[in-house]
Chain A
Amino acid sequence: MNKIQSVCLSFFLVLTGCLEEDTVSSEGESGSSINLILWYTFEGKEEDVFLNAISEFEEFEPNINIEAVPKPYGSSEQAFVTAALGDEAPDIMRFSSDQLGYVGKFRQNGYPLLEDLRPYMTPIEREAWDPIAIEGMRYNDELLGLPASQDCLSLLYNKAIFDSNDIDYPNSNWTIDDLLETALDLTNNNHYGLVFPVKSPYWWFAFQSGFGGNLFDGGLPSLNSEGSADSLNFTLGFELKHEIIPAGTGVEQMENLFMESRAAMIIDGPWNWAEYQAARLQIGQTLLPKNSDSDLRMSPMVNFKGYSISKQSKNKDAAFKLVKWLSSSSVQKEFAVQTYTMPTLIEVYNDEQIQNNTVITGYIGQLQQGFPAPTNDKMGLVYNYLPDAMESTYQWIESDGDEGNPSHISLELSQEAIFDA
């Protein structure tokens, strides 16, 4: 029995140790160094530029040590939420604006997971940013991140394929009929006129807006509309009806086809431009076309990417210093020049070097035609349910189901699912 008692005592002592408060240095302790943990989602050249920016910051802020941890972009918001619910959130996290709706809805003991950054800047400091970018990082009333970059889809084309077929390059006066006809002309023998993943919501949003549809109306999901249904039929038709795009094309296959010069046109973002250039492709870019019936131009969703501070961070002022640096004009310009990342600071838009860069100015032109990614909590649900609607419409059309308009039915069902969730 004595042995059992001694074991219990040891267990109790261990337990007491476990219950001790964490001893983390806080900003209040003057002179002490501050450790910040930052989770980022860059890869390749972007990662190099980012890590250089971090090193520069550490040089002029020697009291702040940064541990930069890479995270896969696809599940970064889930990783952050899991860590935050376990009280282990990093001080800073890089988020895309369309992830903020998901993270923003979480509450732990009544507290949000991210800090509202509205009080951190004076209005004059804030004026440096494009107001649309600032608006894009807001969830409900709060400003959950400082935008450091933005991107959207645009129409890219392989000049060599157009030249060899003696077809004029796409231009900003094109309509979606021109796009379809040219794509049909350029599709033959395992070579395709246009590639993009037809079942991906992100790509579909651009078509949806061109047909007069929209995601939300007064904050409520409005997926099922004439415009949305027509655009879904039209988009899926590239694969199912016209066979311009190989069946089941995903993002990776789309990039490979364009890289191998087996696709004449691609709807893609600026993030792959450097890679296409490295593959020695002669590429051009123009605005996504207009829909001649609705007289609306296809409007891609603009995603802003920026840095957010965890509500749990004990070093918020130091974290904001770093966030501000990573969103500063010198870092944004470096990203733009090195990796064609679109800036969010007005000063960088107007920079001479940026103005002379046709890729960046071309994409800035496309950004001006886009619409900011909604950051409400229903947006996460759109990403959950819309792929189901698109997939079931695809299967329905593929199996020659002819009762009713499958797009309408699927979109209505996904809209209902979002309402019910």
Chain B
Amino acid sequence: MRKRIALFFFLCILLFIPEAESESQQVEVMEISKDNSEYKSIQIRFSTLANVDKYNIYYGETEFNNTNEASLHSRILVSSEISVFDEVPAERALDKCWYTDTDSFDTEFLFSAYRDDSGFPVIPSNSTNIVYNLVGLKTNVTYWFAIIGVDGEAPLDFSVTNLVSGSTEVIGEVPPSLDKTPIFIAVFLIFFAVLFLFYLLSKKEDSKFNKQGYLYSLPAFLLLCILTFYPIISGFYLSFTDSTSSRMGEEEFVGFENYGKVLDESAFLRVTFTTLLWTLTNVIAHVSIGLGLALLFNKKLYGKRIYRTILLLPWAIPSFISVLVWRGMFQPSGLVNEILGIEGYDYFSSTGSALTIVIMVNIWLGFPFMMMVFSGALQTIPKDLYEAAEIDGASNLEQFTNITVPLLKPTLIPVSLLGFIWTFNMFNVIFLMTSGGPVVEIGGPGGTDILITYVYDLAFPGGHYGLAAAWSVIIFFMLLIFSFYYTKVSNATEAAQ
């Protein structure tokens, strides 16, 4: 019984003890610092209060008398066990906050506030002053602030007496628009250089210069300057700089450094060899198959048009679709394995098979063009030459070597040269089928990488624009030298005349 009475009295005492109220007091803001304002941010400075465990910062675009008329902007926690919180430098934090344990606000006495799990600033309980950048504020809008020091639960409403106002005038940073003037000036200069060349040619006494003809072709020259000459010159310039993804527009001239890196690269010879193998195999196959089929269709053949239409299909279908279909067929679970009854063989896992497949696909894609060109060229050879040869008793082979080949030469030379250049720079087949793989060396070119696909890897995922430009210039010179040598050796010009 005594125990029950004691318990009753104890409960009564508990009921009469006033509930522990949270204490709140307003903090006076010492300064709103305009000098230190940043974009969407205003810096405030204030002294700490004793016996509070957080500071709530309220704000509004109009003056307010009570915190319930304003919005809560942020809070700063006070802790005597600061070591349990994260140490975050002010620059790294989502909003900058510092504290001091002296009376000075000098930078040397400012320490970055610690952070709780939600990213709110936490300061040690012995702090004396706080510097806080209030973020999320609009530019050129005056805001009113009140800071309440709270011990315990924050009150739902609290009368405020001294508000402070401030605004930030810092406007958002928009990078200047890309300066296209040098591009236009460069194109302009190239254009005038071409015009000046024409002018000099027209002044020559024995010149066959046809002013009207050049005038008509002037728009085309202008487009050439913009679309061809300028990118080439720009590429040359880039190859002498250290341009990378993180230094665009701030690149510096590095002379022949990029060229040195290219030639020093162990994979340079391997990729060049793969490129030559890829190009020569394709061009020889394109020309031979194209010419063979053109000769076949030049003779009387039943259903010739149907065959020709079917053979033109690879050329008519967009190449990326054909390539993706081929890639699907050569997958481990693809049609090729299914037909051959092989399970799970990956054709793209070894350089030999992957290279064979990409070459085969490109041959399939390329021969219809050659067939069409040669079919047209064969129509121009007079039939009576063959009739005369037949009367003279020439065999089919003799007719081919002595009539067809010499008379096809004006077509054969430029077309095979064009085929060489196209195939040398053919990007989509390898990129879409193997992406340059399989891996030969990690970080280096893959087994089916040719020069152009490797340059892409360097430039785009890699971001090494200067180096990629140096590779491109080397490719350009390789093709230039080949074209010059090829046309000279084959006497293409004379043949054409």
| B443 & A388 in contact (Cβ 8 Å cutoff) | yes
Q: Could you give, for residues 120-159 of chain A, a 1 whenever the CB lies within 8 Å of some chain B CB and a 0 otherwise?
A: 1111111100010010000001010000000000000000
Say how far B290's CB is from chain A's closest CB, in angstroms.
34
Min CB–CB distance B235 → chain A (angstroms) = 15
Contact of B117 among A121, A131, A250, A416 (CB under 8 A): A131
User: Is B75 an interface residue when CB atoms closer than 8 A count as contact?
Assistant: yes
- What would 12 A/B residue contacts be, using CB atoms closer than 8 Å? A18-B184, A107-B248, A109-B176, A119-B38, A119-B136, A122-B59, A123-B120, A123-B135, A246-B344, A247-B345, A316-B172, A413-B442
Could you mark each residue 150-177 of chain B with 1 if its beta carbon is under 8 Å from any beta carbon of chain A, else 0? 0000000000000000000000111111
Chain B residues within 8 Å of A127, by CB: 118-120
Given contacts A7-B215, A106-B246, contact A122 B443 (CB under 8 A): no
Contact present for B215 and A3 (CB under 8 Å): yes
Which A residues are in CB contact (< 8 Å) with B248?
Answer: 85, 106-109
Q: A75 — nearest CB in chain B belongs to which residue? A: B460
Do B174 and A21 have beta carbons less than 8 Å apart? Answer: no
User: Binary interface profile of B, 170-196, with partner A (CB < 8 Å = 1, else 0)?
Assistant: 001111111011001000100110010
B318 on interface, CB distance cutoff 8 Å: no
Residues of chain B with a CB closer than 8 A to A380's CB: 461
Which partner residue on chain A sits nearest B120 by CB separation? Answer: A123
- Report the nearest A residue to B435, measured CB to CB: A387
Known interface pairs A247-B344, A316-B172, A391-B437; A119-B461 also in contact (CB < 8 Å)? no
At the interface, yes or no: B249 with Cβ under 8 Å from chain A?
yes
- Of the candidates B39, B175, B222, the one having the most CB atoms from chain A within 10 angstroms of its own CB is B175
Does A248 contact B333, Cβ atoms closer than 8 Å?
yes
Would B175 and A134 count as touching, CB distance under 8 A? Answer: no
Across the two chains, which residue of chain B brings its CB closest to A85?
B248
Residue pair B118, A421 in contact (C-beta under 8 Å): no
C-alpha spacing A388/B184, complex, angstroms = 42
A122 touches B73 (CB 8 A): yes
10 new A-B contacts, CB < 8 A, other than A124-B74, A389-B439, are A4-B215, A15-B188, A108-B175, A109-B249, A122-B73, A141-B92, A246-B332, A317-B138, A388-B442, A420-B443
10 tightest A-B CB contacts, nearest first: A417-B443, A247-B344, A248-B332, A122-B136, A109-B249, A87-B178, A119-B40, A123-B74, A111-B175, A413-B442
Asked whether B91 is an interface residue with its Cβ less than 8 Å from the other chain, the reply is yes
A253 to B332, CA, bound (A): 11
Interface centre among A3, A105, A122, A385, by most chain B C-beta atoms within 10 angstroms, is A122
Counting chain B CB atoms within 10 Å of each CB, the highest count among A19, A124, A141 belongs to A124
B331 at the interface (CB under 8 A from A): yes
Partner of B344, one of A3, A141, A248: A248
B335 at the interface (CB under 8 A from A): no
Docked-complex contact B443 and A421, CB < 8 angstroms: yes
- In the docked arrangement, what's the CA distance between A121 and B95, Å? 10
Task: Give the CA-CA distance A384 to B245 in the complex, in Å.
Answer: 15
Query: Is the CB–CB distance between A119 and B135 below 8 Å?
Result: yes
Task: Tell yes or no: A208 within 8 A of B by CB.
Answer: no
A316-346 near B? 1/0 per residue, CB < 8 Å = 1100000000000000000000000000000
A389, B461: Cα distance in complex, Å: 17
> Which A residues are CB-close (under 8 A) to B94?
118, 123, 126, 134, 143
- The reply to whether B135 and A118 form a contact with Cβ atoms under 8 Å apart is yes
Residues of B within 8 A of A33 (CB): none
Does A65 sit at the interface, judged by CB under 8 A?
Answer: no
Q: Are A246 and B442 in contact (CB under 8 A)?
A: no
What mask results when residues 228 to 271 of chain A are scored 1 for a CB within 8 Å of chain B, else 0? Answer: 00000000000000000011111001000000000000000000
Would you give the 0/1 interface string for B213-236, flagging 1 where the beta carbon is closer than 8 Å to chain A?
A: 001001000100000000000000
Q: Which of A4, A119, A388, A417 has its CB near the most chain B CB atoms (within 10 A)?
A: A119
A216 interface residue per 8 A CB criterion: no
Check B184 against A19 for contact (C-beta < 8 Å): yes
**A122 & B177 in contact (Cβ 8 Å cutoff):** no
Minimum CB–CB distance for B363 against chain A, Å: 25
Chain A: minimal CB distance from B489 (Å): 39
Expressed in whole angstroms, the Cα–Cα distance for A335 and B350 within the complex equals 44
**Least distance between B355 CB and chain A CB atoms (Å):** 15
Q: For B331, give the chain A residue with the smallest CB separation.
A: A248
Q: Given A107-B248, A134-B94, is A247 in contact with B184 using a C-beta cutoff of 8 Å?
A: no
Majority secondary structure of chain A interface residues (helix, strand, loop or mixed): helix
Residues of B within 8 A of A250 (CB): 331
CB neighbours of B332 from chain A (8 A): 246-248
Q: Shortest distance in angstroms between A302's beta carbon and chain B's nearest beta carbon?
A: 17
CA distance A87 to B198 in the complex (A): 36
Partner of A421, one of B249, B441, B462: B462
Query: In the complex, A113→B136 CA distance in Å?
Result: 21
Asked if residues A248 and B346 are in contact (CB atoms below 8 Å), the reply is: yes
Interface: B368 (CB within 8 A): no
Among A141, A247, A248, contact of B91 (Cβ-Cβ < 8 Å): A141
Assess whether A384 is in contact with B462, with CB atoms less than 8 Å apart.
yes
Q: What residues of A have a CB within 8 angstroms of the CB of B117 in the complex?
A: 131
CA distance A322 to B437 in the complex (A): 42
Q: Does A173 contact B (CB under 8 A)?
A: no
Cβ of A311 under 8 Å from chain B:
yes
Cβ contact within 8 Å between A109 and B175? yes
Q: B46-76 vs A: 1/0 string, CB under 8 Å?
A: 0000000000000100000000000111110
In the assembled complex, the CB of B236 is this many whole angstroms from the nearest CB of chain A, namely 19
Asked if B41 is at the interface of the complex by the 8 Å CB criterion, the answer is yes
Q: B109-125 CB contact bits vs A (8 Å, 1 = yes)? A: 00000000111100000
Are A134 and B178 touching (Cβ within 8 A)?
Answer: no
Q: Type the 1/0 row for B434-464, where 1 means its CB is closer than 8 Å to any CB of A.
A: 0001110111000000000000000011110
Nearest-Cβ distance from residue A269 to partner chain B, whole angstroms: 22
Question: Which of A11, A122, A246 contacts B222 (CB under 8 A)?
Answer: A11
**A380 (CB) vs chain B CBs: closest residue:** B461
Name the residue of chain B whose CB is nearest to the CB of A103. Answer: B245
Complex formed: what's the CA distance from A11 to B225 in Å? Answer: 13
| Complex: A19 Cα to B346 Cα, angstroms | 54
Measured between C-beta atoms, what is the minimum distance from A246 to chain B in Å? 6
B247 within 8 A of partner (CB): yes
User: What's the least CB distance linking B436 to chain A, in Å?
Assistant: 10
Q: Are B333 and A253 in contact (CB under 8 A)?
A: yes
List residues of chain A with CB within 8 A of the CB of B177: 21-22, 87
In the bound complex, CA of A141 to CA of B95 (Å):
11
Question: A392 contacts which of B72, B91, B118, B439 (Cβ < 8 Å)?
Answer: B439
For residue A110, CB closer than 8 A to chain B, the reply is: yes
Query: Which of chain B's residues have a CB closer than 8 A to the CB of A416?
Result: 442-443
Instruction: Say yes or no: A124 contacts B195, CB within 8 Å.
Output: no
Question: Are A395 and B349 in contact (CB-based, < 8 A)?
Answer: yes
How far does the Cβ of B56 sit from chain A's closest Cβ, in whole Å? 10
Q: B81 at interface (Cβ–Cβ under 8 A)?
A: no
Given contacts A123-B75, A141-B92, contact A385 B442 (CB under 8 A): yes
State the CA gap A123–B117 with chains docked (Å).
13
Chain B residues with CB below 8 A from A86, complex form: 178
Note all chain A residues with C-beta closer than 8 A to B246: 105-107
The answer for the CA separation of A56 and B349 in the assembled complex, in Å, is 50
Check: A97 CB closer than 8 A to any chain B CB: no
CA distance A355 to B181 in the complex (A): 58
Q: Which residues of B contact A312 (CB under 8 A)?
A: 174-175
**Which residue on B lies nearest to A15, using beta carbons?**
B184
Q: Chain A 84-98, CB within 8 Å of chain B: the 1/0 string?
A: 011100000000000
How many whole Å from B325's CB to the nearest CB in chain A?
A: 15
- Which B residue sits closest to A414, measured CB to CB? B442
**Which A residues are CB-close (under 8 A) to B215?**
3-4, 7
A404-B188 Cα distance, complex, nearest whole Å: 61
Neighbouring B residues of A7 by C-beta, 8 Å: 215, 218
